[in-house]
Amino acid sequence: MSVTTVPIQPIKKGSIAKFWVGISAVILAGGALAYLGTSSIRSEYASDDSFLADNAGEKGVVTTKSGLQILTIKGGEGKSPTDDDIALVKYKGTLRDGTVFDQNEQAPFPVSSVVPGFSEALKKMQVGGNYKIWIPGKLGYGENPPQNPQTGQPAFEPNATLIFEVELLDFRSRAEVEAMQKQQEAMQKKQGGAAPQGGAPGGPQGGLPPELQAQLEAQMRAQQGQ
């Protein structure tokens, strides 16, 4: 997991397709990405169980069989992602005391490769929708919280309840992203040279922004080191 220190500029409207073309090579080269967490603003409760039990009674909050809690702030449109998809999300993750431990304007996550609570939540979202989710420790990192890359210390306590504000920007099937990657490789061979830094052949206009590529590679290295 990575803690964002320099926010990445949002993708302009109409540029989502170009983003996916550039991102395919990075995602598929390194495997699954590491995941993130959620937060809650209220800290007056002595235990996470008490906090979640109270939160379950808040207007609009839906508690699933697993214990995940989700609030739809703004509904989206279309189908929801599946385990075979890669989701592009804007998110902010906080702890119960309101501490922000991670956030990003646009981050890609294979739905099946994030922590169980976040994966379950993604499969209930629609593109354009805004959501708030509460992930109990057993559906998050459990006893093994990720490290803060700046300090080398755990980013939060074991079994912490995590709270996320999430917007689902887009999602594509893994097969579609793999097809993009194959197309890139074919173009590269035809051109007889390596793709420029930043992703796809053709330079920054069709590729992955350097800041985002660096973030993805850091996330993948973190997961491989677990």
Q: Express as a percent the part of the chain with pLDDT over 70.
A: 66
Give residue 207's pLDDT. 39
Q: Please state, in angstroms and rounded to a whole number, the distance separating the CA atoms of residues 211 and 184.
A: 20
Give residue 26's pLDDT. 61
Q: How confident is the model at residue 221 (pLDDT cuts 50, 70, 90)?
A: low
Q: Which position has the higher pLDDT, 177 or 117? A: 117
Q: How confident is the model at residue 11 (pLDDT cuts 50, 70, 90)?
A: low
The average pLDDT across 129-138 equals 97
The average pLDDT across 60-68 equals 98
pTM summary value: 0.70
Q: Please state, in angstroms and rounded to a whole number, the distance separating the CA atoms of residues 95 and 98.
A: 5
Q: Which domains does the chain have, with CATH numbers?
A: 16-224 (3.10.50.40)
**C-alpha gyration radius of the chain:** 18
Q: Residue written as tokens 């509904």?
A: 75
Q: Among the residues of 57-165, which ranges form H helices? A: 116-122
Q: How confident is the model at residue 97 (pLDDT cuts 50, 70, 90)?
A: very high
Give residue 149's pLDDT. 81
**Statement: residue 4 has pLDDT above 50:** no
Mean pLDDT, the chain, integer: 78
Burial pattern 24-50, b for ≥16 Cβ within 10 A else e, equals bbbbbeeebbbbbbbbbeeeebeebee
Give residue 148's pLDDT. 83
Q: What are phi and psi of 199, to 5 degrees?
A: 120, -120
Q: How many CA atoms lie within 13 A of 146 on its CB side?
A: 23
**Statement: residue 180 has pLDDT above 50:** yes
Q: Give the closest residue to 109 by CA, choosing from 226, 204, 223.
A: 223
**Statement: residue 173 has pLDDT above 70:** yes
**Statement: residue 53 has pLDDT above 90:** yes
